[in-house]
């Protein structure tokens, strides 16, 4: 055995003693070495490099066999990686450092040579070889090897392996061979190191890629289970293990639960709990340190609680690492298992630890995500609730949606809302989280109105204390009576009071069918929601009030337009019915009026305004139907009260065929009452059952009163219109009659007057005195008759002048009248005075006629008054001018104040010419111009006639 003791590379220049021929061969040698170096650097793939080393070693030196060994730094053994020659057919166990030529070369970092293994055996040649039961000597001998040369592969002070050359015959020491091999080994070591570095780099890159992938997963998927599944898939791949598991740790429950596994024969592992102290997982949970074993079943360092399962699965090598938070808290376990004795190395542990740190991020992210998600859900629910509140919908749908969302977000089965104003709780809304409808509980819910809140202590308590009441299990709590828990089929309950301005206005009741504890965050959220609901209730109340005020106002505007016929009323009622139906949130509104003891449908209107001829045809068919058939309508009319039907199918107040014919479920009937008398009904109908709220009933009643009044007004208006038309036609007839009569009378009258005049003129002196007197009487009477006829004609012509009104000076008129009366005034010493008089708007002849009649009467009826005095005055009365003619004459008994204005009515207190038509004419003129006339007087005290005259008449200026 020769040990040359040197590893210093021998350069070609150093071998000068070999002379010129040697020089040539040396040059060749160099060229060959360069070639080898080139070959070695041609690849970075380690197995290929090792193969090249084997190739070169054989050809370059000329040995028969060659083996290249790689040293595993973990176990310190040499493993055969490449082989040339006959030896490749046999298995080569690992060689320990110091064992044989290769082991000794690697250990000593020197060339080791045995020219004849029989004569100079290599180190530890007779010791058994790696548990094969044979010595190295026996194996070498069997292989027929005689000489062995071993060179270590060393780079930067680190042994990477060894190269061995073998000869079948004893082989003398050849300086040049050794030098060549040593030189080759130098290059080989560098090539191996480079290949290893490259492999490491590739590994690192792979690792980086893997981490990037995991990181991507971490940020893209917040689903913890899927991230963990990826992590164990990587763990299994990187550690080349048969199986991998992951189990997040629940600190509160002190248990890690397997959530995912790969490579196991069955999926019986998912859900398995690992307790601290049990198995190697339990060991890691306890210590917080990684744990590695190469022989699971026989390792005494941990408790064997899971051996049955480990045996079934064939656990051999096992490595577990903790998943640790930044602060060192254990978040879970990650472990890999081999079914064969392939121990896990330090490198595997490093890989697994890195993966565990990623799992830690995943777990933390998932926890954060869960918390964020929960907070988001809560925020979303609150936002939605706020949104609903702001949308100013009706209370019912608002509460419906809030109730459903609340039960969902708080994890309850159902959410109900009761309002309270002393006395029983008023059920408003009850909604299941999944939106289902259940009629039994609904009925029970509706019937809550029969119970005082104190009957359910939990309810009474929440209202009295104005604080939430939690009942985790109704069956063992005295706060919930058994009967109540059963009817509502509830186990756990949370009652939160609805509070507005420190006053409890109701409660929010959340319940579940199973017992459940309630967390502080749930309670806080429920309280927040309750505050929102309370606000919603208040807003909705305001809104409902506002809305009903608006609808009522609109109805009033629509209906109280004066002088409306029923014909004109119908489209208005239609508009109102539609408004109301919409405001009440019902489908249809119908109005029936009572005519001759029967209800006659006059109008039926859909909330959306659409016209339904088929429906109307159905109504018409009902026309002949006796009213008693419809108990609800009869009741509403008889009791003069609204009749509420929540579900027509459950009520006997409505005729069945009627309900079916119109597809009715909910009906609200209010009587139409005008002046205490029922004139019809107004009904609101819906094809869905519903509960009518007090505000709906109020609104319906208010509108019904409006409608009734309008219907009645329309009827009265029509009656008065008819009367007026009657009167007008009669007046017209009378006018024609008067005119024709007076006209026809006038002709014979003129003849009589003429004849009487002729007779007097021609035969006057010859006639007996008696006859002349009679003729005089005839003349006077015909004169009177003519005046009468003239007056009557004037009367009948009023309103038919066909002249346009104009500005007329009252002062001028009075002056004219005074001028005409001047002789009389002078003869009797009568004083006629007038103040400042205005300009009136009218027909001059008419105004003159009025003044002439009034002033004329004043003069005529002065009687014996010594100092007769007539005064004309006028005063501004806003839209009117008030004129007066005052005298200090005989006066008029108040008993006759009205009668004197009638045609032909005279009092005959004094002897005065007249027809009794003068005041009638004055009154008719004044009235047709929109004014009125009256007298203020007492017998013997003079009389004052006053009349008003509008400042402006239609189409003119005042
Ligand atoms: P006549 O042609 O009789 O005056 P009128 O219609 O003008 O008819 O008047 C009706 C009656 O009213 C008169 O007959 C008279 O009795 C009474 N009357 C009218 N004006 C006065 C007056 N200024 N003072 C007293 N009585 C009057």
Using the mean position of ligand 1's atoms as its centre, give its distance from the Cα of residue 441 in Å.
88
Ligand 1 pocket mutation pick from 786, 852, 918, 938 by most atoms within 8 angstroms of CB: 918
Segments in 655-693 forming alpha helices (H) = 656-662
Using the mean position of ligand 1's atoms as its centre, give its distance from the Cα of residue 733 in Å.
27
pLDDT band, residue 575 (cuts 50/70/90): confident
Q: pLDDT tens, 118-155?
A: 998 999 888 887 666 788 898 888 889 999 999 999 98
Query: Closest ligand 1 atom, CA of 896?
Result: 12
With a cut of 60, say whether residue 9 has pLDDT above it. no
Query: Closest ligand 1 atom, CA of 889?
Result: 24
Contact indicator for 499, 534 with CB cutoff of 8 Å: yes
With a cut of 80, say whether residue 394 has pLDDT above it. no
User: Which residues approach ligand 1 with their CB closer than 6 A?
Assistant: 853, 857-858, 861, 887, 889-892, 900, 905-907, 909, 914-920, 943
Beta bridge partners of 945: 885, 935
Mean pLDDT of 705-730: 79
Maximal C-alpha separation, the chain: 215
pLDDT computed for residue 174 by the predictor: 87
pLDDT computed for residue 554 by the predictor: 65
pLDDT computed for residue 897 by the predictor: 94
Using the mean position of ligand 1's atoms as its centre, give its distance from the Cα of residue 807 in Å.
29
Q: Which long-range contacts (CB under 8 A, 24 or more apart) does 932-938 make?
A: 933/901, 934/897, 935/892, 935/897, 935/900, 937/891, 937/892, 937/894, 937/897, 938/891, 938/892, 938/893, 938/894
Residue nearest to atom 18 of ligand 1 (CA): 857
Query: Closest ligand 1 atom, CA of 853?
Result: 7
Query: Closest ligand 1 atom, CA of 885?
Result: 23
Torsion of the alpha carbons at 529, 534, 539 and 545, rounded to the nearest 10: 150
Burial of 689 from C-beta contacts in 10 A (0-12 / 13-18 / 19+): middle
Which of 203-217, 444-458, 841-855 is predicted with the least confidence, judged by mean pLDDT?
203-217
With a cut of 60, say whether residue 78 has pLDDT above it. yes
Ligand 1 pocket mutation pick from 919, 921, 925, 935 by most atoms within 8 angstroms of CB: 919
Using the mean position of ligand 1's atoms as its centre, give its distance from the Cα of residue 863 in Å.
12
Mean pLDDT of 100-104: 94
Give the best-scoring range by mean pLDDT among 70-74, 649-653, 718-722, 807-811.
Answer: 807-811
Residue nearest to atom 13 of ligand 1 (CA): 906
Q: pLDDT tens, 782-830?
A: 888 888 888 877 887 777 766 788 899 999 999 999 999 999 999 999 9
Q: Which long-range contacts (CB under 8 A, 24 or more apart) does 386-391 make?
A: 386/532, 388/536, 389/532, 389/535, 389/536, 389/539
Segments in 136-223 forming alpha helices (H) = 136-143, 175-220
Region of residue 113 (left: phi > 0; alpha: psi -120 to 50; beta: else): beta
Using the mean position of ligand 1's atoms as its centre, give its distance from the Cα of residue 882 in Å.
21
Torsion of the alpha carbons at 282, 283, 289 and 293, rounded to the nearest 10: -110
Which of 214-223, 409-418, 517-526, 860-869 is predicted with the least confidence, judged by mean pLDDT?
214-223
With a cut of 90, say whether residue 869 has pLDDT above it. yes
Q: What is residue 26's three-state secondary structure?
A: helix
Query: Closest ligand 1 atom, CA of 862?
Result: 24
Beta bridge partners of 240: none
Contact indicator for 745, 781 with CB cutoff of 8 Å: no
Mean pLDDT of 24-36: 74
Using the mean position of ligand 1's atoms as its centre, give its distance from the Cα of residue 889 in Å.
11
Using the mean position of ligand 1's atoms as its centre, give its distance from the Cα of residue 916 in Å.
7
In angstroms, the CA 157 to CA 357 distance is: 34
Residue nearest to atom 16 of ligand 1 (CA): 907
Using the mean position of ligand 1's atoms as its centre, give its distance from the Cα of residue 785 in Å.
18
Contact indicator for 80, 65 with CB cutoff of 8 Å: no
pLDDT computed for residue 22 by the predictor: 57
Q: DSSP letter for 609, please.
A: -
In angstroms, the CA 405 to CA 386 distance is: 12
Using the mean position of ligand 1's atoms as its centre, give its distance from the Cα of residue 801 in Å.
25
More confident residue, 408 or 831: 831
Mean pLDDT of 421-435: 83
Which residue is it, tokens 């309270």?
420
306: phi then psi, degrees, rounded to nearest 5 = -110, 20
Using the mean position of ligand 1's atoms as its centre, give its distance from the Cα of residue 838 in Å.
26
Q: pLDDT tens, 204-243?
A: 666 666 666 665 665 555 567 777 888 898 899 889 999 9
Tokens of 336: 């890999």
Using the mean position of ligand 1's atoms as its centre, give its distance from the Cα of residue 900 in Å.
7
In angstroms, the CA 133 to CA 139 distance is: 10
Beta bridge partners of 424: 452
Best CA proximity match to 862, nearest among 786, 943, 951 = 943
Query: Closest ligand 1 atom, CA of 887?
Result: 23
pLDDT computed for residue 703 by the predictor: 81
In angstroms, the CA 691 to CA 509 distance is: 20
Query: Closest ligand 1 atom, CA of 945?
Result: 23
In angstroms, the CA 545 to CA 553 distance is: 12
Q: pLDDT tens, 685-695?
A: 998 888 887 77
In angstroms, the CA 8 to CA 681 distance is: 123
Residue nearest to atom 2 of ligand 1 (CA): 914
Q: What is residue 670's three-state secondary structure?
A: strand
pLDDT computed for residue 325 by the predictor: 83
pLDDT band, residue 681 (cuts 50/70/90): very high
Using the mean position of ligand 1's atoms as its centre, give its distance from the Cα of residue 731 in Å.
24
Residues 6+ apart with CB under 8 A from 134: 128
pLDDT computed for residue 150 by the predictor: 94
Taking only Cα atoms into account, the Rg of the chain, rounded to an integer number of angstroms, comes to 62
State the chain's mean pLDDT as an integer: 82
Using the mean position of ligand 1's atoms as its centre, give its distance from the Cα of residue 242 in Å.
136
pLDDT computed for residue 75 by the predictor: 80
Burial of 253 from C-beta contacts in 10 A (0-12 / 13-18 / 19+): exposed
Torsion of the alpha carbons at 569, 574, 579 and 585, rounded to the nearest 10: 140
Residues in the chain: 958
Using the mean position of ligand 1's atoms as its centre, give its distance from the Cα of residue 798 in Å.
20
Residue nearest to atom 11 of ligand 1 (CA): 906
Contact indicator for 574, 602 with CB cutoff of 8 Å: no
Ligand 1 pocket mutation pick from 898, 906, 934 by most atoms within 8 angstroms of CB: 906
Ligand 1 pocket mutation pick from 789, 854, 861 by most atoms within 8 angstroms of CB: 861
Give the best-scoring range by mean pLDDT among 12-16, 243-247, 304-308, 497-501.
Answer: 243-247
């Amino acid at each position: 055995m020769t040990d040359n003791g040197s590893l210093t590379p021998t350069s070609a220049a150093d071998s000068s003693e070999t002379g010129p021929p040697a020089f040539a061969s040396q040059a060749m040698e160099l060229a060959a070495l360069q070639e080898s170096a080139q070959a070695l650097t041609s690849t970075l793939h380690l197995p290929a490099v090792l193969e090249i080393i084997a190739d070169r070693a054989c050809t370059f030196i000329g040995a028969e066999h060659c083996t290249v060994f790689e040293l595993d730094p973990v176990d310190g053994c040499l493993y055969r990686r490449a082989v040339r020659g006959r030896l490749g057919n046999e298995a080569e166990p690992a060689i320990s450092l110091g064992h044989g030529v290769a082991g000794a070369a690697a250990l000593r970092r020197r060339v080791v040579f045995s020219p004849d293994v029989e004569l100079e055996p290599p180190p530890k040649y007779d010791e058994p070889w790696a548990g094969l039961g044979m010595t190295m000597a026996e194996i070498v001998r069997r292989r027929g090897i005689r000489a062995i040369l071993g060179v270590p592969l060393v780079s930067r002070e680190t042994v990477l392996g060894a190269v061995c050359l073998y000869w079948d015959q004893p082989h003398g020491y050849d300086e040049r061979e050794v030098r060549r091999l040593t030189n080759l080994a130098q290059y080989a070591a560098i090539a191996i190191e480079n290949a290893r570095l490259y492999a490491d780099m590739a590994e690192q890159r792979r690792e980086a890629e893997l981490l990037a992938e995991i990181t991507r997963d971490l940020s893209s998927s917040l689903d913890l289970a899927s991230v963990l599944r990826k992590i164990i898939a990587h763990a299994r791949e990187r550690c080349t293990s048969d199986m991998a598991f992951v189990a997040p740790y629940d600190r509160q429950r002190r248990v890690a639960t397997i959530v995912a596994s790969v490579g196991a024969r069955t999926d019986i592992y998912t859900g398995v709990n690992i307790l601290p102290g049990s198995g190697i997982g339990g060991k890691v949970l306890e210590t917080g340190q990684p744990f590695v074993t190469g022989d699971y079943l026989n390792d005494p360092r941990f408790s064997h609680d899971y051996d049955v399962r480990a045996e079934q699965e064939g656990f051999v090598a096992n490595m577990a690492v903790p998943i640790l938070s930044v602060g060192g808290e254990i978040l879970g376990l990650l472990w890999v298992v081999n079914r064969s004795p392939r121990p896990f190395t330090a490198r595997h542990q490093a890989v697994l630890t890195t993966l565990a740190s990623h799992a830690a991020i995943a777990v933390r992210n998932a926890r954060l995500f869960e918390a964020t998600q929960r907070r988001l859900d809560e925020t979303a629910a609150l936002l939605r609730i706020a949104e609903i509140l702001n949308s100013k919908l009706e209370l019912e749908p608002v509460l419906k949606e809030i109730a459903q969302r609340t039960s969902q977000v708080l994890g309850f089965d159902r959410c109900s809302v009761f309002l309270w104003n002393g006395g029983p709780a008023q059920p408003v809304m009850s909604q299941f989280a999944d939106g289902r409808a259940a009629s039994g509980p609904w009925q029970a819910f509706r019937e809550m109105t029969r119970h005082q809140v104190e009957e359910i202590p939990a309810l009474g308590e929440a209202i009295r204390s104005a604080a939430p009441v939690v009942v985790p299990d109704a069956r063992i709590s005295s706060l919930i009576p058994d009967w109540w828990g059963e009817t509502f089929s509830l186990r756990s309950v949370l009652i939160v009071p609805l509070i507005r301005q420190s006053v409890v206005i109701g409660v929010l009741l959340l319940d579940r069918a199973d017992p459940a504890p309630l967390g502080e965050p749930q309670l806080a959220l429920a309280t927040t929601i309750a505050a929102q609901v309370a606000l919603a209730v208040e807003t909705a109340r305001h809104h409902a009030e506002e809305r009903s005020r608006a609808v009522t106002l609109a109805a009033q505007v629509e209906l109280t337009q004066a002088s409306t016929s029923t014909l004109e009323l119908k489209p208005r009622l239609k508009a109102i019915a539609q408004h109301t139906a919409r405001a009440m949130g019902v489908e249809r509104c119908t109005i029936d009026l009572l005519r001759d003891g029967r209800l006659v449908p006059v109008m039926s209107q859909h909330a959306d305004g659409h016209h339904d001829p088929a429906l109307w045809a159905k109504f018409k068919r009902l026309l002949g139907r006796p009213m008693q058939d419809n108990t609800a309508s009869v009741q509403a009319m008889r009791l003069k009260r609204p009749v509420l039907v929540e579900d027509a199918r459950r009520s006997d107040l409505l005729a069945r065929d009627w309900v079916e014919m119109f597809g009715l479920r909910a009906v609200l009937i209010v009587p139409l009452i005008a002046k205490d008398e029922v004139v019809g009904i107004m009904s609101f109908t819906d094809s869905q059952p519903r509960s009518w709220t007090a505000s709906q009933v109020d609104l319906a009643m208010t509108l019904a009163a409006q409608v009734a009044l309008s219907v009645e007004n329309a009827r009265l208006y029509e009656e008065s219109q008819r009367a007026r038309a009657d009167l007008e036609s009669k007046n017209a007839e009378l006018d024609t009659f008067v005119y024709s009569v007076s006209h026809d009378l006038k002709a014979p009258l003129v003849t009589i007057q003429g004849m009487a005049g002729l007779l007097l003129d021609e035969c006057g002196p010859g006639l007996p005195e008696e006859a002349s007197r009679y003729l005089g009487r005839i003349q006077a009477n015909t004169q009177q008759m003519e005046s009468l006829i003239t007056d009557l004609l004037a009367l009948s012509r009023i309103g038919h002048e066909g002249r346009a009104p104009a500005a007329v000076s009252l002062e001028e008129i009075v002056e004219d009248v005074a001028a005409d009366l001047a002789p009389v005034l002078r003869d009797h010493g009568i004083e006629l005075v007038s103040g400042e008089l205005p300009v009136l708007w009218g027909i001059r002849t008419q105004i003159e006629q009025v003044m002439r009649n009034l002033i004329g009467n004043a003069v005529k009826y002065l009687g014996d008054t010594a100092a007769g005095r007539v005064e004309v005055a006028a005063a501004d009365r806003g839209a009117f001018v008030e004129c007066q003619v005052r005298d200090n004459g005989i006066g008029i008994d108040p008993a006759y104040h009205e009668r004197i204005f009638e045609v032909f009515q005279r009092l005959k207190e004094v002897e005065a010419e007249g027809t009794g038509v003068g005041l009638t004419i004055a009154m008719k003129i004044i009235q047709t111009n929109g004014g009125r006339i009256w007298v203020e007087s007492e017998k013997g005290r003079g009389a004052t006639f006053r009349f008003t005259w509008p400042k402006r008449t239609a189409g003119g200026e005042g």
